[in-house]
Structure 1
Amino acid sequence: MPRWRGCSLGWQTAAFPCLVLCYVLFVVLGGLAFMALEMPVEKRLRAEVGELWRSFLNDNPCVQESKLQHLLGKALSVHHTNVAVLQAEEEERHYDFMSSLYFVIVTLTTMGSDVYYPQSDESKFFCLVYCVIGIPLTLFLLGLLSETLLLPVITHAPIRHLHTFWGLSLSRATLLHASLLSVLVLGLLFLLPALIISAVEPGWSFLDALFFCFVVLSTVGQGGCALGRNWSLNAREALELLTTCKSNYGILIRAVELCQRIVLNPLSFFKSKIYRLEGHPLHELCLEEVPEAPDEELQYSMAICTISSSV
């Protein structure tokens, strides 16, 4: 075995444990960073709530602390499920058709919801069976749509147009298309929705809205954010529908795998310009091993497929 091949195998063997170790360190550093950033906020909120608690008990000595604690704990647990507990909202229902449809869509797309989740044992069992069938079917359908519809329209057709009518080389057309598409996706799927959400949702800054758009499109969840809590029922249903359409469109765009296909083409362009030997790209050459003299300089020979294609 040539020495260069043994070194390559040794490097590949050691690379995977190093990669795993680096990833573990990356995860640990992320946890430490979030702990350092969020712990002061949590301590401040705990101090504020404790001060309000003591002030309320001092101003209302007739209220028993145990009963107040039980009442607030029950109200907070119900509020966490987004169920209306105020008397003015008795006609509002949490699991109407639109809300249930929203839960189904965010579950099938693996985005999840911080507000909607099954409460009864029957619905939990149905959700398990439903997701076992629905999630693979949804991912298959999204992949099929991206391959048959979106990829030719979003990627192939614009690159072909730039290459044919603008006279750009294929690699330069791909690079220009990647840049324009990145700006378009950033504007339409992140910046513009964040501006609209921050304008219509009271108490939300642009950063809050941008964070919400990011976690929704990346299928992380909703980041503990729920749009339209103070809106009317019809307005909130329309907002849930728009949010669902936006998330599905973003997931479908991600399913096209633009990054992999766009990044590899410019890389192959630069590699074909730099690594060429006697007019043939490097990937069309193979190393010829000489068993009798392993210490001699390795020679290049053309691959059989290259020779047959050139003839």
Structure 2
Amino acid sequence: MVRGCTGDGWCARFVESHRPGLNFALLVVCYILYLIVGAGIFSAIELPYEDELRKELREARQDFLTESPCVSDARLEELLARALEASNYGVSVLGNDSGHNWDFVSSLFFTSTVLTTTGYGHTVPLSDGGKAFCIFYTLFGIPVTLFFLSAVVQRLMVLVSRRPVSYFHRRWAVDKSKLAAIHATCLAVLVALLLLIVPAWIFADLESDWNFLESLYFCFISLTTIGLGDYVPGETHSKERNPHPQLYRLAITAYLLLGLICILVLMETCCELPQMRRFRQRFYQERVRELDSETTNIIDRDHLSDQLSDPADDTMDHLPTIPSVSEQAASIRQNGKSPPYTPASVEKLR
């Protein structure tokens, strides 16, 4: 007779011993479901608009052929195909389009969007030489850009996140995890205000065809490096609204680079939250009970050295409180059957 899972607790032991793997499998399933739900919602919202637009274009094309009997349908098809091909390369056939996509400032804007992997797609190399150079340029440029952004973000993290949290932790004696969460929330509000709301108002005023929602959409899509390319600033040719197009394009380039750095700082701040670290451990943490005392000692010493090596903290002020070590010890007590190893240095502090 086969005994049930509830009788001998086999299922409970299996779940407990394979909890990180099961959590990761659940994460994969949830992400796939999230993709499917998003695709369904986008399809339900956008498909009627696409059908309506196709209908309007067919009617406009038929009206043009009816009013212009000297133009054949084949010739109109050829003209439209050529115009669309040129538009995909950033060249418009409209009469008011007199700008250039490959002057120095526009090329600088292109290189910044390519190296940051934003890639609007409105301007692309036309020649074979340009395409070949783009491959070579980005092959080395993207890793260098990632290294540059990482170095800048890590230096800013000390000034923007770690020092303020450590300072108020010492001054107010507030729990560091709660203080870090409050700081991350305030930083997110500040970034949203200065990099999304205010620039969206500015773009809505400068771009004649954009409203506030479209401007906010452009800022978000750009700073998250999605870069769909459906909205690109500087395409308006109104001299009244944009008297200095080159300076305007240069300012946009600086905004995108600085904004991307600020977004990365915010993301890194959120990822370093103790709550986020504990949540991530649910998906990849090894079973602590299988770690020997030497490995556990190395882990504790690494966490201790990370806390004591922070250049923003005073060593004497931080010796009494070491949250990361205590959290590690608490995690070991919860997950392991055997009592945890406690370093001598930590025992003295207690």
Question: Shared topology, TM-score over 0.5?
Answer: yes
Q: Is the 8 A contact 2:207 2:234 kept in 1?
A: yes
Instruction: Kindly state the Cα deviation for residue 25 of structure 1 after the two structures are TM-superposed.
Output: 2.3
Report the residue type matching 1:64 in the other structure.
S
CA distance in 1, matches of 2:56, 2:76: 17
Partner letter of residue 22 of structure 1? C
Aligned length: 288
Which of 54-63 and 226-235 deviates more?
A: 226-235
Whole-Å Cα distance in 2 between the matches of residues 123 and 263 of structure 1? 47
Could you tell me which residue of structure 1 aligns to residue 244 of structure 2? Answer: 235
- Partners of 1:87 and 1:13 lie apart in 2 by 61
> In the alignment, is residue 310 of structure 1 matched against residue 347 of structure 2?
yes
Equivalences for 1:204-243 in 2 at 5 Å? 204-231=210-237, 235-243=244-252
Q: Distance in 1 between matches of 2:131 and 2:251?
A: 26
TM-fit CA distance, 1:116: 1.4
Cα deviation code 1:51-75 (max 9, x no counterpart): 1111111122122221122112212
Q: TM-score scaled by structure 2?
A: 0.73
**For the residues of structure 1 that align with 2:222 and 2:34, how far apart are their CA atoms?**
23
CA contact (8 A) 1:84 1:94 kept: no
Matching residue's letter, 2:74: S
1:180 maps to which residue? 186
SS of the residue 2:18 aligns to = helix
SS at match of 1:79: helix
Aligned to 1:196, what secondary structure does the other structure show?
Answer: helix
1:66 equivalenced with 2:74 (yes/no):
yes
Structure 1 stretches lacking a partner, 5+ long: 269-279, 290-297
Residues 84 and 93, structure 1, Cα contact 8 Å, conserved in 2: no
- Equivalent residue letter for 2:193: G
Cα deviation code 1:126-181 (max 9, x no counterpart): 11111111101110011111112x11211123224433555645344323322221
Other-structure match for 1:250: 259
Task: Name the SS for the 2:339 alignment partner.
Answer: strand
Give 2:168's aligned residue: 162
Q: Which runs of 5+ in 2 are unaligned?
A: 1-8, 280-324
State the AA in 2 paired with 1:259.
C
Structure 2 match to 1:275: none
Distance 1:87 1:186 in 2: 38
Matched residue, 1:80:
88
Does the aligned pair in 2 maintain the 1:82–1:94 contact within 8 Å? Answer: yes
TM-aligned CA distance change 1:302 to 1:14, over 3 Å: closer
**The 10-residue stretch of structure 1 (10-19 or 214-223) with the greater mean CA deviation from structure 2:** 10-19
CA distance in 2, matches of 1:168, 1:12: 32
Larger relative CO (CA 8 A, sep 6+): 1 or 2?
2
8 A Cα contact 2:65 2:73, kept in partner: yes
Equivalent residues in 2 for 1:241-280 (5 A)?
Answer: 241-256=250-265, 257-262=268-273, 264=275
State the partner residue of 2:144. 137
- Matched residue of 2:107: which SS? helix
TM-score (norm 1): 0.81
2:45 is aligned with 1:37: yes
